[in-house]
Structure formats: C-alpha cells, structure tokens
Structure 1
Amino acid sequence: MKNFKTLGILLAFATVVGCSDLEEVPVGRLSPDGLVQSPADVQTLINGAIGNMATEAYWGRKLSLPIMLRSDMVSIGDLGTPGRRQDVDRFSMSDDNGMVTALWPRAYQVIAATNEAIAAAATLTGFPPEQIDPVTAQAHFFRAYTYYHLVRLFGEIPYLDAPVVNVEEASQIGKSSVDAVYNNIIADLELAKSQLPDNQSVSALPSKATAAAFLASVYLTLGEFQNAYDEAKFVIDNEGAFNLGLAADFQDLFDHAAQTSTNEFLLSLDFNGFSDGDTGRDYAPALTGIRANERGNIGGGWSVAVPTINVYNSWDGRDYRKAVSLDTTGIFDGVEEPFTAFPDFDSRNIQSAYIAKYTRAIGPTGTGNGRASSLNYGLMRYAEVLLIAAEALNELSPGSGEAAGYVNRVRARAREGNGSAFPADVAGGMSQDDFRNMVLEERKWELAFEFKRWYDIKRRQLGPEVFGPGSLEPQPNFDPSRDYLFPLPFDELDRNPNLAPNNPGY
C-alpha cells in the first residue's frame, strides 16, 4: 500500500467534518502507511470521499449552484453577483468559468478516494466477504454517483477506475465515450445493488434500494424505459423491507429537526452546523436567502439564486408544496413585509418569492448567512422513485392505471399538507403525450429547487421550449447545439491536450 499514489488522495484525506452521521477521521490515521488493515479502514476512505462531496467546491456551491441556475426555475437575483454565476444562468459561459474549473478537480478527488478504497479492499486478507463486500460496494456506488453528474454535465470525460500509480501517464489520459462512461456507471451500481444491505443506519450511506433507485434514474436518462421501470418497481415492491415511505408532511423533508424521523430519503448529504473552512460548509442558505431578512436569525441571504416571478405566478396557490418551497414574506426592522417590498430594504433583492427549502428550518449554523447549516440535502427521495416508475411505465404502456397510481401517491401527500383538494388525482387513460407532460410537471413542482430540473430539461431536450419566449425564464442565448453540455475547463485542456477538442461551441 505504500506505493499507492492517488490523484487527489492527499486532498481527500482531511478530517471528515461534512457528514454529521459519519465518523470523524484524523489525518494521521489516513496516511498511506497506516491504511487498510480492516474493513473499517476501507470505510474511513469512503468517508473521506463523502467528506469531499460536502465541500464548497462540490455540493456546497460549485456543483449545486450551476445545476440550479441552469434550470428554468431559478435565475439571478442580485445583478452584482460575480459574472461566472450569471454566465451559467444566461448560457454565456466560457471554458475559464470559475464554477467548472473548481468543480472538475474536486469531482476527481472524490473519484480518487473511491478508487483507493476499492483497491485497498482487494488487499485485505482474513476477513469474510460479508464484512468486506458491503463496504466496498459503497465505494462503487459513490464512484458511479460522481461520474453520473460528470457525464451529464460534460459528456465525454476521462474515466479512471483505479488508483493512479504513474501521475505522468494519468495526466495524459484521453476522454472516454459517453456510452462507455454510462456502461461503467451501470456496472458499479449493479455491483452495489448486489452487495449493499437492505438498510443502513443513516441515509448518508447507500443501501440496496439506493443503488436500484439510481439505476432507475440512469436508465431513465438513457431512455431505457423497461430497465428504468424494473429498477424503480424493485424498490417500490420492497418498500417495507427497505423501510421506505413518503414523509407525512412535505415540510419535514426540509426541517433539520424532523428530517431524521422520516424514511423518504434513500440518500442524503448531511451537514452538521459547523465547518473547517469550506469543508462541511453548504452555501445554499446564503445563495438563496433574502438580503436583510431577519427571519431565522441567520443574518439574511445573498439574493443570488432566485426564482423568477413567473415561477410564483404559474404555481397553483392551492398546492401545499408551493407554501413549503417558497417564502413570500420577509421580516425587516421587526415587521413582516411582502416580497413586493423586498427591494425597499436592500436594492439587491428582487420582487419575487424566494426559495425557502434551504433557509426556513436549517438549524444551528457555523457561520454567517446560514452557511454551514445543520440541514441534510436529499439526493434521492422515495417520491422521485415513484415518479420515475410512472414516467417509465407510461412510455411502455400508455394509459396505465398503475402509472397514474404512483403519481397519485405523491399528490395525496401534497393534499394532506393543507387539506385542500389540489392537486387532484390523475385518472388512468391519459394519452401518452399528456401523461408524459404531466409527470414532468409533477417532477418540476415536487422536486423544485432540489437540483433535478436541469437534468430533466437536458434528457428530454426541452431547452427551446422552456427557455423560449413566454416561458418561466426566457433565455435568448440558449443554443441547443452547445448548451446541453458545460465546457471542459481550459486549464485541464492546457495541461492535457488529449482532452481536446472542447465541447461544441466552446
């Protein structure tokens, strides 16, 4: 093990403070000389990978903010925010955009840690497979998860599946095709599904159901609807064994004090109210919050990522999810004010409802403006599994009452939140096109601001429609021949000419 020299491995092995339900690991214990004496040490490496996800350069800001801004649900509020953010939102980004130049290396640091864990587990002797395999399967899962984001954002990318021994050779690696990357993602998820346990003690770690749910998502993205349905149905048919269900109250999913009592999360990224610099620090409360707002006593937000007024106006007011997802008032000088007055208290605010999911009930925070919150971020919810099953089944068997039933479970929970009759149940017998449009709309509202919408737009090639005139967020710069992919970072291309050419249009 002394010969392992993994790309990014030393950066990955800082104390894991980002995931509150995982063990904190001192740096010394993670040095190469002391690695991999037991399955617990393999878990340590995996915790390091998860810790790297809970940093500013990944889920804290550099991944979460671009995929939120790229959607038609969120735009820029404060026009004084750095241009790199506005360029992502306005489809005018270039290959030196600071969001992608920071995201790319951090993603590969996560991958490096998973590769190290997989290779290290293979050296263990004297432990039965039932102790080693479920832990190693976590590394396969998180490698697949990280590549799943990368391939959707960048297309053809370098694929590394082992620790880097020769850094010189690794720095000259070429790109793998999109098909090859997806094949590897599926292989990792299949292995994880076969070896992970039915349940984990915390949702920060993947279970068998988590792997199946992401397989369903991958297959849905690829348009392989039978496989998507089969994987989602596997989770649904075994929801009792997997201890899954919909949270009784939609608000509980975004309340730090109530999240752990729900069984809807198949995977979450946990923050714990403190950080070590940018490690363990989420920025969503600051980025989505109202400037000068006194509610929650977090110091107000930065008014960066804000829904346009069209989102508020088009969302039916009877939908309880709207009340949970959006803040329509703020408190200024001790007085509650409507969003039409927000700019009166800070000119960088806009007259629109603001995202509430990351500011309303985030618990203790480690620093100002809500950063380093105590909120857990749901990366896969059971509601999404139900909607995947519905969408996939509609493509296989239009008019299916079973598909409608999956949507109706999600809608029933929404109705229970405020006792209204909205949204009404979906009736069987809808045309395939109508059902497809309906379930995409259902995803838009159910999963609003949860980093899913851009990927839906991309996989269904909806850009010209959702960014055109009269849409929620008209974006005249959107070019379907260019903008379904991000540019590869210029500095990576400078270091490695084998990554050329850049994606079309950049």
Structure 2
Amino acid sequence: MKNIEFFRYIKVKALSILVLLLVISVQNCADLEEDPTISRLAPGQYTLQEELELGVTGIYSRLRNASQWSTFFVNGWSGDDITTHRVSNKADFREFDQRVVAPTNGRIASNWRDIYAMVRAANNALESAAGLNLPDQDAQDRLIGEVHFLRGVMFFHLTRIHGTIPLPLTSIPDFNIGLSTQEEVYQQIESDLLRAEELLPAKYPDVQKGAPRPNSGSARAMLARLYLDWAGFPEKNTSKYAEAASSAKKVMDNAGAHGFGLVEDLNDLWTLENRFNDESIWTIAYNRANGLNNRKFGKLGNPSDVGGWQETFAEIKFYEDFPEGARKDATYRSDGVWGDWENFTDQATPVFTKIVGPPGDISLDDFNTDRNDFYMRYAEVLLIYAEASGRSGNVTTEAWEALNKIRRRAAGLPYNTPDPSVDVTSGDIAELAFTERKWEFAGEWIRWNDLVRMERVKEALSDRDPQSSFNSDGELLDVQNPILGSLETSNYFAPIPQNEVDLNPNLKK
C-alpha cells in the first residue's frame, strides 16, 4: 500500500456498498463513529482484501478515540512518579493518585467501554475473515496478525488496571459472561501475541519508524512484558522470568530487522519532529492537521501560571530522589518559570518534559498535539532482559551490557561505548535494572505496574513527603495528594465499573 506522508484514501467496494474513508496511512486509522458494526463493512464473510483492511481500520479508529485522552492511562496516576491537581476537576485521577478508586469512577467506565469496543471490532474482523483466501497471502497474514496483536494488547492493557477481566472471544455479546481467572487472562494474551508474531512480518511495509503498524518484533516485545508481569504479583509464576528474558533477547538479536534501536539523545524522544523514531516498539500515531489529535500532552501538563490545565504533574519526592544528570534534565522542565516550580502560585509540583514537550516545541496554548504515544520503548526490552536474566538466575555479559547501555545514555554518554564511570558488572542485576526502570520511564504511566508486580506499593507510596523542596518563604512543601486508601495487595487493582456490574452481576468480584 502506498504511503502518502500520513494519510491516504481507501476506496472499498464490497457487495454493493462504496465507502470512502480518510485514513492515516502509517496506521490505516480512520476517524469512524462509535458504531460496533463499522469494522465489518457488510454482513457475512469478507471476500476482498479491502474489506479486511477496513476491519482493521475500524479497530484503529476505536483505539485512537480511546488513547487520545489521559483516561487511557488512568492507572498511571497510582505510581509514585505522577500526581494530578489537588482540587479542580481531576477527581477521577485523584482517586488513583490517593488509592481510593470507586466503582463509579468515570474514567474506568469509559476506558472499559472503549477497550471492549476494540475487542468486539477485533472479534468481528476475525470471524468475517474466517475461510478467507486472498491472492496476496502476505497481506492477509499481516492483517490478521495485526488483529490478534491489537486484541491481545488491549486485554493486557485492561488486566493491568483491573486484574481479572472477562474474555469475550466472539462478536455475539454474552450478557452473562463472567470474569476469567488471572491465569486464563494471561494465557489468552499470550495466545494472541504468539499468533500475531507468527503472522506479522519482521517489519510492516510502507510505514514510518517506530512500528505504527506492529511487526513480529512488536509482538515478541509485548510477550516479554507479559512474562515479566506473569512472574510477579498476582500469579507469581517465577518460571516466566526465563521466558521474559528469552523473549527480550530474541527482540534484541533481531532489532535491526525490526527497525528497533535506542535514540542517541533522550531529548530527541520527546520532540514533535521525532514522534516517529526507532526506539518505539509500537507507536499509536496522531495527526492534528487532519483532526486526529493527541490530547494527553502540552497544555494538560502545565500549571495555571502559564495557562496550563494542570492534569499531569510530577511527584515532588520522586523528583527529589531522581539522580542528577542528562536523563533528569530530559525528563523535567527546568527552564524559565518551570525552573522555579516550588513557587507556582496554585500547586507547587515539577513539570514533565515528557508531557509538555521541550522548550519551544509545543505551544502553551496547545491541547491538541501531534505527539505520538510510544506504547513500549526498546529501552524497556533491554531492561526486561537485564532484570529477567537476574531473576531467572542466568546472568550473562549481554545482560550487563543491556543495562549499561541505558545507564550510559542516562549520563549523557554514547550508549554503545563502554565507560567505567557508569558501567556496572557486579551486584544484583535484577534490582539494578528494576531501579533503572524507575528513572527511565518516569512520567510514562507504567511505574505503577512495576510496583504491583514486585509488591512494593506500600514501600513506594508510604514515602512521598518532600524532603528538600522549599518555597521562597522557606516553607517545606507538602505532598499534594496524600494517600487515603489501603496500600495492601487487596487494593492493587481497580474495581470493575459499577455500571457494568449492574448490567451483569457475574462481573462482581
């Protein structure tokens, strides 16, 4: 398929229907309405490649509609790295921030609805493609592989929020479906991702950098992330550490074929110019000029002092503990008024460069941006390999090198050049890698997942009081959203949305 910068037109003839849709060529993502039948052009089985393409396009449309909002990553406010505004209209985010998530939380309700709309569209596509035998078998394989990838990743995304979830695998609604066990959920995700890896090419043809259409390496990298979670809480199947390590190693060994690699300078990751880059394992792409906006960045992360909407801020204690150096400089804004965050007039909290962009990159007025989502970065593959190697008892020189690449870049050094000033070759590599993840992915909405799998929520969230941050009056700053709920394992996962339980009591935990 011809790539025309970001967009192209798809003209589809199926049965007697002619549909013209504006789509993102790097994603084949169309701006469709929330219609559960739209991903299936007409009743019956697909007979044309264009029909299957439109089925995949429908899933991407739902994904973009959901992922453009901070709601998609609402669980991230539970971590010790991210906080929100202490009052205003951020109550649903504060519930996660303070660990008192109610079943009536509006963000979990909309997230649940949006993700299962994607699952339903995926199930429709798979059923409609059953028995399909296209002349271009490679295209058929990669499109069906893509459906499995998207369904598996969405199940994974949701189970990280709620734990046990239902697993609808047909397009026919089951109004009495119950919750699957955590083991069953992981097994289904694994099945989808393995099938995706089997069918997807090493690199999806005619797309931008960063796998805006997933490839086989994207699927294997997600498997590495899955196995790391599987080995931790709540399943604690420690045999999965070896699988996490081997999966990550497979991606590393074939990184060139997949187009994966680290960017040299962390600052380059967060610029609009580099929103497509080799480090992204799978990218959710946006294009503001065509109405496909990302609404999680820019204005949302700024304080009222500069006209911001004050949704996504950095935790003070985490900022204080963050090791000085190039990575901290790339993670937080320290220029101009942002460098005097202790004296913000409304709420004194540091600001993430990862959210608002580097100086001069995103206008202070921008709520809609072109920023892409790097759903998983190659840096995570390297750190999974290092950590899982340590926890599985099979530490190699390659595992140390994977860790040291991240450490070198964090210090502003060439990541491929050994440097004794930062390199480590002894000690507990698993814990070193776990800590490295803490700093590397700050503000990317994934820290909470690490705290959960290692059962370190209480350890991290019991110590959030600022220690060294004072305002101009010499007053020690307070934590903005103190913990109100339990930090025990029984409170690790968000409840099933109340409206879903009301409709189907079998979903009650």
CA, structure 1 residues 455+422, in 2 after alignment: closer, same or farther (shift >3 Å)? Answer: farther
Bigger shift: 125-134 or 251-260? 125-134
1:433-444 correspondence to structure 2 within 5 Å: 435-444=429-438
* 3-state SS of paired residue (2:288): coil
Structure 2 equivalent of residue 112 of structure 1: 120
Counting matched residue pairs gives 460
Q: Determine the C-alpha separation between the residues in 2 that align with 1:53 and 1:387.
A: 27
Contact 1:95 1:488 in 2 (8 A): yes
Task: Report the counterpart of residue 371 of structure 1 in structure 2.
Answer: 367
**C-alpha distance in structure 2 between counterparts of 1:184 and 1:363, whole Å:** 44
Query: Which whole-Å deviations, capped at 9, do the CAs of 1:366-394 have from their partners, x for residues lacking one?
Result: x9842221011101111110000000101
Distance of 1:254 and 1:44 partners within structure 2? 31
Aligned equivalents of 1:482, 1:275: Cα separation in 2: 44
CA distance in 2, matches of 1:356, 1:456: 22
Shift of 1:234: 0.5
Q: 1:69 to 1:257 in 2, by over 3 A?
A: same
What residue is the counterpart of 1:286 in the other structure? 299
Structure 1 residues 18 and 240, CA gap change in structure 2 (3 angstroms): closer
Which blocks of at least 5 consecutive residues in structure 2 are unaligned? 1-18, 232-239, 467-478
Aligned to 1:309: 316
Q: In the alignment, residue 138 of structure 1 is paired with which amino acid?
A: E
Match of 2:170 in 1: 162
- Residues 216-257 of structure 1, C-alpha deviations (whole Å, 9 max, x = no match): 110111111111111111011112222221111111111111
Match of 2:269 in 1: 253
The answer as to 2:187 corresponding to 1:187 is no
Q: 1:375 to 1:58 in 2, by over 3 A?
A: closer
- Aligned with 2:53 (options 39, 43, 46): 43
| Distance change in 2, residues 1:417/1:18 (3 Å) | farther
Q: Give the secondary-structure state (helix, strand or coil) at the position aligned to 1:380.
A: strand
1:351 corresponds in structure 2 to 348
Contact 2:78 2:97 survives alignment (8 Å):
yes
- Give the 3-state SS of the residue equivalent to 1:268 in structure 2: strand
Residues 115 and 215 of structure 1, relative CA distance in 2, 3 Å threshold = same
Change over 3 Å in CA distance of 1:130–1:219 after alignment to 2: same
Structural RMSD (CA): 3.1
Match of 2:444 among 447, 450, 467: 450
Deviations 1:458-494 (A, max 9, x none): 1111111001146677635233143211010111011
Q: 115-124 vs 388-397, which deviates more? A: 115-124
- Alignment-derived partner of residue 96 in structure 2: 88
- Whether the 8 Å CA contact 1:29–1:35 is kept in 2: the answer is no
CA distance in 2, matches of 1:44, 1:144: 19
Q: Give the AA of the match of 1:324.
A: A
SS at match of 2:317: helix
The equivalences for 1:59-458 within 5 A come to 59-64=68-73, 66-164=74-172, 167=173, 170-200=174-204, 201-202=207-208, 203-223=211-231, 224-260=240-276, 262-274=277-289, 280-293=293-306, 300-318=307-325, 320-331=326-337, 338-343=340-345, 347=346, 350-360=347-357, 369-397=365-393, 400-416=396-412, 424-430=421-427, 432=428, 435-458=429-452
Give the superposition deviation at 1:23: 5.1
47 and 126 in structure 1: CA distance in 2 versus 1, 3 angstrom threshold: closer
Q: Is the 8 A contact 2:85 2:313 kept in 1?
A: yes
Which runs of 5 or more residues in structure 1 are unaligned?
1-12, 294-299
Q: Cα 1:386–1:58, aligned 2, differ >3 Å: closer, same or farther?
A: same
Specify the SS of the correspondent of 1:180. helix
Q: Is the contact made by 1:51 and 1:280 (CA closer than 8 Å) also made in structure 2?
A: no
Deviation track 1:114-168 (CA, whole Å, cap 9, x = no partner) reads 111211222424435323111100000000000001122112211111212xx4x
Quote the offset at 1:342 in angstroms: 2.1
Report how far residue 82 of structure 1 moved. 3.4
| Amino acid of the structure 2 residue aligned with 1:189 | L
